[in-house]
Amino acid sequence: MTEINIAQIRKEYGSQKLSKKTVDPNPIRQFEIWLQEAIKSELAEPTAMQVSTVSPDGKPACRTVLLKGIENEAYIFYTNYDSRKGQHIASNPNVCLTFFWAELERQVHVEGSASKVSEGKSNEYFQSRPRKSRLGARISPQSQVIKSRNDIITAFVAESARYIGQKVPRPDNWGGYAIVPERIEFWQGRESRLHDRLLFTRNGKGDWKIDRLAP
């Protein structure tokens, strides 16, 4: 087998710039501009983000989920509340979301506090999902050890039969989280690793303050 020297894999960045003069003073609006550009660029999963959480004993964990909306300046995603991430958030609501749009040489970190969205909002989104996704959410004890894939398939088939001709209801342990940001950092790759980094933090009055960070 040919060995690949991964230490020598590197890409030179520098297609675009980011400056205090051109950035939107509201980081949520700036995020939406970048997200639209990522969607228009037809990247594979433009809404994919890594959600980092911390366990009750202080150990971090991270996984990918899909951003499903930004409402009232809060970032929304949906999951199983009993999952590992759900248990972490129940004991510590502080989370970090990371977006990496490689082709655009961009990264965004969003740090803030997560809380459950209303049941009405979770119901509305749940019912907008494909029927099979709704059935899957009902029978999957997300993050738990299972004996075999077959057990999940059997449960899925039984649940499908149970709801034939009926609306598939949202299970109580499945719904959305809304993350209200306190800190948002925009990263744009630049030449010679001298990247642009702009950090937005809220000042005492709730307005956003912008600082440039060293790359």
Ligand X SMILES: Cc1cc2nc3c(=O)[nH]c(=O)nc-3n(C[C@H](O)[C@H](O)[C@H](O)COP(=O)(O)O)c2cc1C
> Which positions are catalytic?
193
User: With respect to ligand X, which residue has the nearer C-beta, 71 or 211?
Assistant: 71
CB of 83 to ligand X, least distance (A): 3
User: With respect to ligand X, which residue has the nearer C-beta, 61 or 194?
Assistant: 61
Q: Computed over its alpha carbons, how large is the radius of gyration of the chain?
A: 20
Residues that bind ligand X (CB under 6 A): 45, 48, 61, 63-66, 77-79, 83-85, 142-143
User: With respect to ligand X, which residue has the nearer C-beta, 13 or 125?
Assistant: 125
Copy the structure tokens of residue 167. Answer: 């609306």
Selection from 107, 104, 73 nearest residue 186 by Cα: 107
Q: 174 Cβ partners below 8 Å, 6+ apart? A: 78, 79, 80, 81, 122, 126, 137, 138
CB of 62 to ligand X, least distance (A): 8
Q: 12 Cβ partners below 8 Å, 6+ apart? A: 191
CB of 48 to ligand X, least distance (A): 5
Contact 28, 70 (CB under 8 A): yes
Q: 120 Cβ partners below 8 Å, 6+ apart? A: none
CB of 105 to ligand X, least distance (A): 20
User: With respect to ligand X, which residue has the nearer C-beta, 170 or 195?
Assistant: 170
Selection from 93, 108, 91, 58 nearest residue 178 by Cα: 93
Copy the structure tokens of residue 187. Answer: 């990263």
Max Cα–Cα distance, the chain, nearest Å: 60
Amino acid at site 134: R
